[in-house]
Amino acid sequence: MRPSVSVIIPIYNSGRYLREAIDSVLAQQYGGLELLVVDDGSGDDGPSVAATYGMPVQLIPISHRGHPAARNAGVAASTGEFVSFLDADDLWSANKLALQLGAFEENPSLDLVFGHMQNFISPELTAEEQARIKCNSAVLPGLLQGSMLARRSSFDRVGPFPEERKMGDFLDWYGRATLAKLSMRMLPDTVVRRRIHLANFQRTHKHLRRENLIVLKKLLDLRRAAENASR
């Protein structure tokens, strides 16, 4: 019997690219799939786009609390043995789940399986708009939530995403997973394509990037505390 997989897409005024993101998940052609679109208080047509699909797509409305809280709400509502994530403007490769579930089957001791990622400039942008964007199109190791497939039990061992973080929430979670000594594997295959456009969160919230430094300091402090406790 194939394991069940829960996929969580948080949305906040994300209707423009949402249909492509959902379609990239459904293209996995995987029977044991539930797709939870968590509406973080959107004011656009994103929720109505999600509602047009029916099962296995489920729409979960919450009050606006930010993307970490939306992901946590999706995890709380999920029922799958495995959990994965996708941003509403990104795309999964068609064989993402097959590759990652194959890795878990090959090595049942794994907790997390990642794959590589590749950026692409959104095709609707004009040549002038594209010229304003720096886009590294190289295939790179994808240490981000969209490239990860996690055992639900392993995710719960680490705990939820920090909801006080506006940026760096996955860095915080991944750091805690490393400190918890979760078993991880990075596949050489590209499993997610990250859309670069004029309204990317990292682009429009540059003032929050210092939160990444705060997260790194927190993780270093936790590591030092763990090392001292083991002496």
**Alpha-carbon distance 8 to 92, whole Å?**
13
Residue 86 confidence (pLDDT) above 60? yes
Residue 221 confidence (pLDDT) above 70? no
**Alpha-carbon distance 140 to 129, whole Å?**
24
Q: What percentage of the chain reaches a pLDDT higher than 90? A: 73
Rg of the chain in Å (alpha carbons): 18
Range scoring the smallest mean pLDDT among 59-63, 68-72, 124-128: 124-128
Pairing of strands 112-121, 57-62: unpaired
- Confidence grade of residue 226 (pLDDT, cut at 50, 70, 90): low
Residue 87 confidence (pLDDT) above 60? yes
**Alpha-carbon distance 219 to 170, whole Å?**
12
Amino acid residing at 134: K
pLDDT, residue 174, reads 95
Residue 222 confidence (pLDDT) above 60? no
pTM: 0.86
Higher pLDDT, 137 or 81: 81
* Residue with the two structure tokens 């995890």: 75
Residue 155 confidence (pLDDT) above 60? yes
pLDDT, residue 166, reads 77
In this prediction, residues 197-222 reach a mean pLDDT of: 55
**Alpha-carbon distance 118 to 100, whole Å?**
17
Q: Which of 50-64, 129-143, 165-179, 187-201 has the highest mean pLDDT?
A: 50-64
List 186's β-bridge partners, or say none: 114
Residue 109 confidence (pLDDT) above 60? yes
Name the residue among 92, 80, 99 with its Cα closest to residue 35: 80
Give the model confidence (pLDDT) of 110-151 as tens digits.
Answer: 999 999 999 998 888 877 777 777 778 899 999 999 999 999
> What six digits make up the tokens of 229?
């406790």
DSSP 92: E
Give the model confidence (pLDDT) of 191-205 as tens digits.
Answer: 999 998 776 556 544
Amino acid residing at 124: E
pLDDT, residue 205, reads 46
In this prediction, residues 13-38 reach a mean pLDDT of: 96
Amino acid residing at 215: V
> What six digits make up the tokens of 197?
């456009």
In this prediction, residues 158-165 reach a mean pLDDT of: 93
Distances from the Cα of 46 to the Cα of 15, 83, 186, angstroms: 4, 22, 32
Q: Name residues whose C-beta falls within 8 Å of residue 128's C-beta, 6 or more positions apart in sequence.
A: none
Range scoring the smallest mean pLDDT among 166-170, 185-189, 211-215: 211-215
